[in-house]
Amino acid sequence: MNKAYRVIFSKVRNCWVVVSEISSAVGKGNSFRTEAVSDRVEIGMPGMTTGLRVALVGAVMLFADLGGSNFVYAQASYSCTSAAASWSTPGGYVSNQTPPVWMAGCSVGTGTAGITASGGGNSFYATTTGGFISLSTGALDISAAGGVNIHNNITLSTNKITGLAAGTVAADAVNYSQLQSLSTTTSTGLSTTNSTMTSLSTSTSTAVGSLSTGVSSLSTSLSTTNSNLTVLSTSASSGISSAQSGVNSLSTSVASTNSSLTSLSTSTSTAVSTANSGLTSLSTTSSTAEASLSTGVNSLSTGLSTTDSTMTSLSTSASTALSTTNSNVASLSTSASAGISTAQSGVNSLSTAASATNSTIASLSTSASTGVSSLSTGLSSTNSSVTSLSTSASTAASSLSTGVGSVSTALSTTNSNVASLSVATSSGLSTAQSGVGSLSTSLSSTNSNVISLSTSTSTAVSSANSSVTSLSTSASTAAASLSTGVTSLSTSTSTAIAGFQQGQNGVMRSQYNPQTATTTATGLNALAAGNGANAAGDNSVAFGTNASAPGLGSVSIGDGNVANGEGAVAIGDPNVATGTGSFAGGNNNTADGTQYGGTGGAVGLGNSNTAFGQGAVAIGNNASAYGQSAIALGDGAAAGTAAAPLTGDIAIG
């Protein structure tokens, strides 16, 4: 038996009634048709006092307490359709009671009142203030204005509650839809959480593994770094110790050099003094020879008349040539000074001890200059004696006096020009010597050269003394052949000047062996000296056998040196400097600043060093620097290789 009920509005009863949920309705769904009750309803009449209990069997057992009477048994059945004023009349309306309880369309039943009553009928309806209870076949409707309260437990006997709205507050019941949604949401959330936890576990495991590997790698790297720092410390200590040893050796060498230069200065001073004595003796001998010279002068007169015009031309040509030479020498001095100054700036830092050596060399230069000045004074005295001799001969030949006077004037001018050339050359060579002195990295070789120079100078001065003595002895004999000598001098001088004028565009060339030399100076204001020397660049200098200076303002000094590039310098035997401002000094060094796309600035100093690349530096012995700005210092140091150049690499041997 279905025990679920619903409340509907009955048009027949014109009120709300409680019916079974399986009751049928006619009309538009809100009308109500009463049906027979499946079981008989009996109402007990006798024994009722102040209340009524109604037993309904079919849909539910209902007790409507109207005053608190006890349950009684019916003694008769009544028709629900009969009208009566009270319960005592069979078939009376129950609605006559207060509060009203009425029954419509009920059939007469038999039996006693109670849950076992049976019979026919179609409805039961009870009203109360603000509510009602309606019972029809299989349905029960209950309505109350204040709500329906059930105070005891309800047993549904495995049946469902239907039509339950979704709960909205804490005290509300929830329906199946809400539980199903909660279950689905919870399941999805837990699934997502499980997936996230799995991903978190995997990520954490991977991160911890990676962290462990990183810490291990860091430990290894720090160990390697410590090892490298130890090696660096050892290398630096060794390098500094080696440098200190080199400085100590340099100091000792400088002291030895100073001693040698002092000895050279003393020897030179003594030799010059001896030369002065020889010249004084020459002057005395020349005076004695005047008497025997008179005869020779008579024959000289004829020759001098021809010589006069030649000497005049010679004087003019010599003056012009020497003027040009002086200009070229001045230009050479300026160019050489600029070039050597540039070179010197690059190597000034090579030796701080060289300042003492330079000072000693300057002192030597002063002493030598004093000696040469004294020698010049002696020669001036000789010229004066010759002039006096010319004056004595004027009585024998007036034309000779004029010619000799012209010769004297020309020679005086020549002497002045030569003296000027000597000063300019001395200044230029002094500057060059200062620059070259700064380049020396091996003062032991310098000491040997200075000692050799001292010996050679002493020998040369001694030989000069012998020559002066011999000149004094043979002066009288020479006077007899003076006419022939003067004529020969005129011819030779003219030839020499013609040869001296071979250069063009201010070019100066000096050939030490004119018969076999192939010296060339094709650049503007270029200077070349030595067999095979070639100064092809403007303002370039090439001194030494096969020295080559093709670059603008380049300087090549020594056997086989090549300075190819603007301002490039190569000094020693033999070195190659290529590129703008590149410098190679010493023995067998190569400095090429044009390698690897560079323009110049490479430096190679010492023995057999190689510097390839712009700004590359190789100093020492067999050092090599391959790559731009690569630096190799010391014996066998190597920064980069020819096959794998390294920019900015530094190696210290």
327-347: average pLDDT = 50
312 or 632: which carries more pLDDT confidence?
632
Burial class of residue 440, CB neighbours in 10 A (0-12, 13-18, 19+)? buried
Q: How far apart are CA 61 and CA 69, in angstroms?
A: 17
Best-predicted range by mean pLDDT (189-193, 239-243, 303-307): 189-193
The structure's pTM equals: 0.29
Q: How far apart are CA 304 and CA 307, in angstroms?
A: 4
Least confident of 7-16, 45-54, 110-119: 45-54
Q: Is the pLDDT of residue 538 over 90?
A: yes
Confidence of residue 420 (pLDDT cuts 50, 70, 90): low
563 or 242: which carries more pLDDT confidence?
563
Confidence of residue 91 (pLDDT cuts 50, 70, 90): very low
Q: What does the pLDDT read at residue 50?
A: 30
Q: How far apart are CA 181 and CA 184, in angstroms?
A: 5
Q: Write phi, then psi, for 538 (nearest 5 degrees).
A: -60, 135
Q: Is the pLDDT of residue 573 over 80?
A: yes
What pLDDT, in 10s, does the model give residues 7-37? Answer: 777 766 667 777 766 666 554 444 444 443 3
Q: What does the pLDDT read at residue 55?
A: 34
In contact, 584 and 572? CB cutoff 8 Å: yes
Q: Is the pLDDT of residue 571 over 80?
A: yes
Q: In this structure, are strands 631-633 and 650-652 parallel, antiparallel, or unpaired? A: parallel
Q: Is the pLDDT of residue 213 over 80?
A: yes
Which residue in this structure is represented by tokens 């009585």?
395
In contact, 506 and 331? CB cutoff 8 Å: yes
Cis peptide, bond prior to residue 100, ω within 30 of zero: no
115-143: average pLDDT = 58
Structure token pair of residue 371: 């000696």
Q: What does the pLDDT read at residue 622?
A: 97
* Amino acid making up residue 146: G
| Residue from 115, 120, 355, 374 nearest 258 by CA | 355
Dihedral angle over CA of 263, 451, 635, 355, nearest 10: 30
Structure token pair of residue 640: 């980069």
Q: What does the pLDDT read at residue 154?
A: 80
Q: What does the pLDDT read at residue 527?
A: 94
Question: Domain 527-652 - what CATH class?
Answer: mainly beta
Confidence of residue 608 (pLDDT cuts 50, 70, 90): very high
The mean pLDDT value of the chain amounts to: 65
Q: What angle do CA 37, 39, 45 make, to 5 degrees?
A: 95
Structure token pair of residue 138: 């299989």
520-545: average pLDDT = 94
373 Cβ neighbours under 8 A, 6+ residues apart: none
Helix, strand, or coil (residue 171)? coil
Return the H-helix or E-strand segment holding 650: strand 650-652
Least confident of 26-30, 77-81, 208-212: 77-81
Q: What does the pLDDT read at residue 445?
A: 59
Best-predicted range by mean pLDDT (138-147, 287-296, 403-412, 467-476): 138-147
Confidence of residue 231 (pLDDT cuts 50, 70, 90): confident
Q: Is the pLDDT of residue 504 over 50?
A: no
What pLDDT, in 10s, does the model give residues 368-397? Answer: 455 445 544 554 554 555 455 445 544 544
195 Cβ neighbours under 8 A, 6+ residues apart: none
Q: What does the pLDDT read at residue 428?
A: 46
Q: What does the pLDDT read at residue 516?
A: 60
575 or 436: which carries more pLDDT confidence?
575
82-105: average pLDDT = 44
- In angstroms, how far is CA 191 from the centroid of its own chain? 54
585 or 504: which carries more pLDDT confidence?
585
What pLDDT, in 10s, does the model give residues 232-278? Answer: 678 767 866 776 776 677 667 667 767 766 776 676 667 657 656 76
Least confident of 211-215, 232-236, 403-407: 403-407
634 or 348: which carries more pLDDT confidence?
634
- In angstroms, how far is CA 94 from the centroid of its own chain? 114
The proportion of the chain whose per-residue pLDDT surpasses 70, expressed as a percent, equals 39
269 Cβ neighbours under 8 A, 6+ residues apart: 367, 371
Greatest pairwise CA separation for the chain in angstroms: 213
Q: What does the pLDDT read at residue 167?
A: 87
What pLDDT, in 10s, does the model give residues 493-502? Answer: 444 444 443 4
The proportion of the chain whose per-residue pLDDT surpasses 90, expressed as a percent, equals 20
Distances (CA, A) of 292 to 299, 300, 363, 392, 478: 13, 13, 45, 12, 10
Confidence of residue 179 (pLDDT cuts 50, 70, 90): confident
Best-predicted range by mean pLDDT (72-76, 209-213, 364-368, 612-616): 612-616
10 Cβ neighbours under 8 A, 6+ residues apart: 16, 17, 31, 32, 134
Please, what is the angle between helix 398-439 and helix 354-393, to 10°? 170
Q: What does the pLDDT read at residue 287?
A: 55
Confidence of residue 366 (pLDDT cuts 50, 70, 90): low
In contact, 53 and 72? CB cutoff 8 Å: yes
- In angstroms, how far is CA 175 from the centroid of its own chain? 74
Q: Is the pLDDT of residue 79 over 50?
A: no
CB atoms within 10 A of CB 342: 17
Q: Is the pLDDT of residue 226 over 70?
A: yes
* Amino acid making up residue 485: G
Dihedral angle over CA of 175, 176, 182, 184, nearest 10: -160
Least confident of 329-338, 348-357, 571-580: 348-357
What b/e sequence results for 510-546 when a residue is b if at least 16 CB atoms lie within 10 Å of its CB, and e otherwise? Answer: ebeeeeebebbbbbebbbbbbbbbbbbbbbbbbbbbb
> CA neighbours within 13 Å on the CB side: how many for 569?
26
Q: Is the pLDDT of residue 46 over 70?
A: no
Considering the chain, tell me which residue range(s) the CATH 2.150.10.10 domain(s) occupy.
527-652
Cis peptide, bond prior to residue 99, ω within 30 of zero: yes
Q: Is the pLDDT of residue 336 over 70?
A: no
Distances (CA, A) of 625 to 233, 235, 539, 612, 616: 23, 19, 30, 6, 6
| Residue from 582, 586, 581 nearest 571 by CA | 586
Q: What does the pLDDT read at residue 640?
A: 96
The conformation of residue 120, written as its DSSP 8-state character, comes to -
The conformation of residue 181, written as its DSSP 8-state character, comes to H
